[in-house]
Amino acid sequence: MKSLLFALLLVVVFAPCAFAAENESVYDRVVKSGVIRCGYGISPPVMVKDPNSGVMSGLDVEIWNEIGKELGLKIEWAEEAGWGNFIEGLRTGRYDAFCSELWPDPARSKFLSLTDPVLFSFLDAYVRSDDMRFDGHLDKINDPSVKIPAIEGDVSATLSQNGFSKATLEYLPQTATLSDMFLSILTKKSDVIFIDQAMIAGLDQNNKGKIRKVENVPHAFTFGSYYGVVAGEYQLRDMINLALRTMKNDGRLEKLAQKYSESYSVPRKDF
């Protein structure tokens, strides 16, 4: 009888503690630990990882270092993720925020809460250097014979479908990166990729002259770039937003963006 009462007492005492820990928000965990664990996707020049030392660099790394300073929190680069599967890492708590820039995708918004826009990018169409088919005629991309690389579950598939619905998507796995999409063009598995000037400069370092921008056409797409936390973590998102707004209004965000590419445009100051 005594052992039964003792067991019941343990349940009464420890069950609320277990329940509280199980229902702890990401925001609570971040504040308690003093650390934001970042998931990220490799995308030069905004996110670069040295293959030998593992040291992280790039625009997003510098922005998050500033966010950490503003919030009095340490930034930890916890896990590399694919553009098609990064949400799973947020939902399972392997990291607290996805700290690589994201283009907005309405289909994923039910799983994701996005920050304010960090900057705006202008995406142009790029092809192999000997491909002149689309010069002066961006609409010619909208043809079943034209293949566009797209990562499964990523906005790269959505934007291509919306902008060029008749073109054929050449799907890459969820773990694929921007470099894989670029390689798809070079190896002639795909024909055209939509990318901004800064990213193409980072990818093209070892492939000079092998890829070119389609000439005499407007930008294919214009997008804001955002960071993301798991859906429902509004306090964490708002905290990051306040740091970003501070950086925007005091000019730090623009200075960092221009350091990496003159093609980047940052949001207008609040006043």
5 inside domain: no
Instruction: Give residue 40's identity as a one-letter amino acid code.
Output: Y
Residue 252 has what pLDDT? 97
Distance separating alpha carbons of residues 170 and 195, to the nearest angstrom: 16
pLDDT for the residue numbered 114: 95
pLDDT reported for residue 109: 83
Residue 271 carries which DSSP code? -
AA identity, residue 98: F
The total number of structural domains that make up the chain: 2
Say which residues have a Cβ less than 8 Å from residue 242's Cβ, sequence separation at least 6: 70
Question: Residues 210, 245: one domain?
Answer: no
Measured distance CA(204)–CA(22) in Å, rounded? 46
Here the CATH number for the domain that contains residue 231 is 3.40.190.10
Full domain range(s) for residue 208: 120-222
The answer to whether residue 173 is domain-embedded is yes
111 with 124, same domain: the answer is: no
Looking at residue 103, its pLDDT comes to: 85
> Do the domain assignments include residue 217?
yes
Q: Is residue 145 part of a domain?
A: yes
In a domain, 44, yes or no: yes
217 closest CA partner among 141, 165, 147: 141
> How would you write the pLDDT of the chain (271 residues) with one tens digit per residue?
555 444 444 444 444 444 344 678 999 999 999 999 999 998 888 999 998 999 999 999 999 999 999 999 999 999 999 888 899 999 999 999 999 999 888 888 889 999 999 999 889 999 999 999 999 999 999 999 999 999 887 888 888 888 999 999 999 998 888 888 889 999 999 999 998 888 777 665 666 778 899 999 999 998 899 999 999 999 999 999 999 999 999 999 999 999 988 888 999 999 8
- Contact between 227 and 114 under an 8 Å Cβ cutoff? The reply is yes
Do 130 and 217 fall into the same domain? Answer: yes
Report if residue 10 sits inside a domain. no
126 and 115: one domain? no
pLDDT score for 205 = 62
Residue type, 25: S
Tokens representing 257 are 């963006």
Q: Would you say residue 1 lies in a domain?
A: no
Indicate if 129 and 217 belong to the same structural domain.
yes
The reported pTM is: 0.79
Question: Does 4 map to a domain?
Answer: no
CB 246, CB 130: distance < 8 Å: no
pLDDT of residue 203: 65
